[in-house]
Structure 1
């Protein structure tokens, strides 16, 4: 029979509060690095937490083991004009790197899904990089399908445009 140690404390999912911001921010910094999203239209910064918390605090969750936050989920809902559907958007789901293979992400996702359903959401959306295979596998395991590829282009406005040879301006 296996012994349970103090390290195997229960996982608890709860509402995020303002005091959680620093720890959530640092987990996000650890997970959502520049390499993770070099040209993604949104990047991880302190405004991601505050903006979502101020608009949809009931969809801002943290996962705790003991008194330590080990993951978070930030979501929002969207009601489009002239549409009977309400959409849920899981904007960020972050879990400390040292425990990403555990139940934390699954538990956060399950609670987010439950809360969105309670709010009348009919379709839940996520996005991730096409090469983020662990995230794609995670979401497929939780019922997401219909992967759609989008072309994402960027234009660096700090570089001068190259002139074509032979043309005078």
Structure 2
């Protein structure tokens, strides 16, 4: 069921991602998910993020558009763990053009993907974000996420030169 609301004198429409949307979604993600924004991103934004999810869970790949222009996207999947009675929704990427971030685009995308995950039997939605991404943390808290879990994430930059220990002369 398509839900429509006012957005700057035009209608905001949430719909499933189509192949023709790939370039717009890719470029929005490219603007948002940069190495400068989060240098320790363990997942990097690339064209495979869209195609992989589209091919496996296309009903959980959504776009928000106004007047035919894509303003944002949500890409997710569901996960069933062996020996667990629970099915999890995993919101992997949620991106909104900078100029549309103060509107309801992100909220509408999230609400629709949450509804779809619940319809698919998910009992919980999981997201992850950088601990210093205050905007994302605030947004997800407004969406009802309360059980914030801290975890340790280590990285090793293999492009930096390290000093080799000097051998002692006899």
TM-score of the superposition, structure 1-length normalised? Answer: 0.91
**Greater shift after overlay, 12-21 or 140-149?**
140-149
**1:118 to 2:119 alignment:** yes
Which residue pairs with 1:146 in the alignment?
Answer: 147
The aligned residue for residue 133 of structure 2 is 132
Tell me the CA shift for residue 18 of structure 1.
0.3
The separation in 2 between residues aligned to 1:25 and 1:157, in whole angstroms, is 27
Cα distance in 2, alignment partners of residues 27 and 33 from structure 1: 11
**Runs of 4 or more off by more than 3 Å in structure 1?**
157-168
Q: Is the 8 A contact 2:71 2:96 kept in 1?
A: yes
Instruction: Rate the CA distance shift 1:167–1:157 in 2: closer, same or farther, 3 A.
Output: farther
Aligned to 1:10: 11
1:103 is aligned to 104
Q: TM-score, normalised by structure 2?
A: 0.90
RMSD: 1.8
SS of the equivalent of 2:108 reads: helix
Mapped contact 2:35–2:41 kept (Cα < 8 A): no
**Whole-angstrom distance in 2 between the partners of 1:151 and 1:6:** 40
Gaps of at least 5 residues in structure 2 are: 1-5
Q: Is residue 129–residue 136 contact of structure 2 (8 Å, CA) maintained in 1?
A: yes
Task: Determine the C-alpha separation between the residues in 1 that align with 2:166 and 2:51.
Answer: 49
CA distance, structure 2, for counterparts of residue 11 and residue 24 of structure 1: 16
Structure 1 unaligned regions, length at least 5: none
